Amino acid sequence: MVLQFQPEGIYCPAGDFYIDPWRPVPRALITHGHSDHARWGHGSYLATKAAAPVMRLRLGDISLDTVNYGETRQIGKARVSFHPAGHVPGSAQIRVEVDGEIWVASGDYKTTDDGFSEPFEPVPCHAFITESTFGLPVFKWDAQDDVITQINAWWAANKAAGRFSILGAYALGKAQRILANVDTSIGPTLTHGAIENTNAVLRAQGLSLPDTIRVTPDTDIKANAGALVLATPSGMNSTWVRRFGQASTAFASGWMSMRGHRRRRSADRGFVMSDHADWDGLNAAIKATGAERVFVTHGYTSQFARWLNEQGYDAGVVETEYEGESLDAADAEVVE
């Protein structure tokens, strides 16, 4: 086995390293900066150059080495390279080759180009490790342009009615994806501090985002009437939103396709937008690898693995501590 599933994480014996380990290990290769993949406490880290600034923001002073997408590193007897996963800026699938056998650990991914993250690239391999956050046929995403049009219309209508438009989105990924694509001529955009910290790091590494205004205790809220307010999911459930007074609230998440979730979030609107692949995206991604073996790590694992076996793959579920698209207030700020 090029990669093995150990209690600490996904392990490569030929290179003596782990991929996205959930327990402290000496050497960790990290697919992306979300907190269920990039954890604190490893001896050394290796990630893409594009993922590194956010990892430093979140993990502080870590021993972090970086590679470009597509660049090959020899680690022990393993040849390693990182390839775009399309999930969030800097996110990667990690390709590991040992004696001609190729495995790919994909972390989290989505196959649609969001206009901001590096687009997903299929990597041919013998064995593919996949998530299945939305691994049921009911999950089918609308085109991003359509969802952005809905968000623009919601924002413009609220502005006309003198209301703020408060949109809950993850601090890394979703918030910037929305910001990069909405029609900012409608009005100003205000941001929660956790989102603005991430924006600042991404701008500093050269990514282009429209101007935003960080909400602080001193912010003149009235002067920005009708603004789009990008909030973290936990900010949505706190006193943070109350100062905006008249406002419409919404969430952007793949879970918004399920009526029950929308109701429980007590938001006025739900926009179906995920940084994870939908059913068709998962199937297309797996097919494009040409892999015969598939390991399913998180999400609707047993259902999705059973489906893959019916399609002729040698598929199985592996236990990991990765999480899908969480809507829980406690962790949604940092986990996706």
Which residues contribute to the site for Zn ion (CB under 5 A)?
A: 34, 36, 108, 322, 336
**Token output for 216:** 């602080």
In the chain, what is the greatest distance between 2 CA atoms, to the nearest angstrom?
Answer: 64
Cβ proximity to Zn ion: between 34 and 262 the closer is 34
Gap between the Cα atoms of 232 and 230, Å rounded? 7
Residue 16 pairs in a beta bridge with: none
Cβ proximity to Zn ion: between 87 and 192 the closer is 87
| CB of residue 324 to Zn ion, shortest distance in Å | 7
Strands 189-191 and 213-214: parallel
**Token output for 21:** 């380990």
Gap between the Cα atoms of 67 and 72, Å rounded? 8
| CB of residue 278 to Zn ion, shortest distance in Å | 15
**Token output for 90:** 């800097």
Cβ proximity to Zn ion: between 27 and 34 the closer is 34
**Token output for 167:** 């949109």
Gap between the Cα atoms of 36 and 56, Å rounded? 15
Cβ proximity to Zn ion: between 15 and 86 the closer is 86
| CB of residue 174 to Zn ion, shortest distance in Å | 10
How far, rounded to the nearest angstrom, does the alpha carbon of residue 130 sit from its chain's CA centroid?
Answer: 14
Cβ proximity to Zn ion: between 229 and 334 the closer is 334
| CB of residue 33 to Zn ion, shortest distance in Å | 8
| CB of residue 98 to Zn ion, shortest distance in Å | 25
**Token output for 33:** 């900066």
